[in-house]
Amino acid sequence: MNQQITTPLVELEDISIAFGGIRAVDGASIDLYPGEVVGLLGHNGAGKSTLIKILSGAYKRDSGEIRIDGQDATINNPRDAKAYGIETIYQTLAVADNVDAAANLFLGRELTTALGTLDDVAMEAKAREVMGRLNPNFRRFKEPVKALSGGQRQSVAIARAILFNARILIMDEPTAALGPQETAQVGDLIKQLKSEGIGIFLISHDIHDVFDLADRVCVMKNGQVVGTAKTSDVTKDEVLGMIIMGKCPPGATPGPGAMRI
Q: Which is nearer to ligand ATP, 134 or 176 (CB)?
A: 176
Q: Which is nearer to Mg ion, 49 or 204 (CB)?
A: 49
**Ramachandran category for residue 14: left, alpha or beta (phi over 0 → left; psi -120 to 50 → alpha):** left
Q: Which is nearer to Mg ion, 148 or 186 (CB)?
A: 186
Q: Decide: 222 and 46 in contact? Cβ < 8 Å.
A: yes
CB of 48 vs Mg ion, minimal distance in Å: 5
Q: Which is nearer to Mg ion, 154 or 204 (CB)?
A: 204
16's CB contacts (< 8 A; 6+ apart) are: 23, 25, 26, 27, 28, 61, 62, 63, 64, 223
Q: Which is nearer to ligand ATP, 138 or 211 (CB)?
A: 211
Closest CA to 42 of 244, 250, 254, 256: 244
Our finding on whether 224 is near Mg ion (CB under 5 A) is no
Q: Which is nearer to ligand ATP, 35 or 45 (CB)?
A: 45
Whole-number Å distance between alpha carbons of 109 and 122 = 13
Amino acid identity at 194: K
Our finding on whether 92 is near ligand ATP (CB under 6 A) is no
Our finding on whether 49 is near Mg ion (CB under 5 A) is yes
Whole-number Å distance between alpha carbons of 63 and 226 = 19
Near ligand ATP by CB under 6 A, which window of 38-46, 61-69, 123-131, 210-218?
38-46
Our finding on whether 48 is near ligand ATP (CB under 6 A) is yes
CB of 111 vs Mg ion, minimal distance in Å: 34
User: Which residue of 31, 33, 50, 214 would you call a contact of ligand ATP, by CB under 6 A?
Assistant: 50
In the structure, how many helices (H) and strands (E) does the chain have? 8, 11
Look at residue 253 and give its three-state secondary structure.
strand
Binds 183: which of Mg ion, ligand ATP, none (CB < 5-8 Å by kind): none
User: Which residues are 225's β-sheet partners?
Assistant: 220
User: Which residue of 8, 12, 49, 174 would you call a contact of ligand ATP, by CB under 6 A?
Assistant: 49
Our finding on whether 47 is near ligand ATP (CB under 6 A) is yes
Q: Decide: 216 and 30 in contact? Cβ < 8 Å.
A: no
Contacts of ligand ATP in 16-35 (CB under 6 A): 19, 22, 24
Binds 45: which of Mg ion, ligand ATP, none (CB < 5-8 Å by kind): ligand ATP
DSSP codes joined into one string, 42-96: -STTSSHHHHHHHHTTSS--SEEEEEETTEE---SSHHHHHHTTEEEEESS----
Contacts of Mg ion in 173-202 (CB under 5 A): none
Whole-number Å distance between alpha carbons of 146 and 188 = 22
Residues that bind ligand ATP (CB under 6 A): 19, 22, 24, 42, 44-50
Residues that bind Mg ion (CB under 5 A): 49
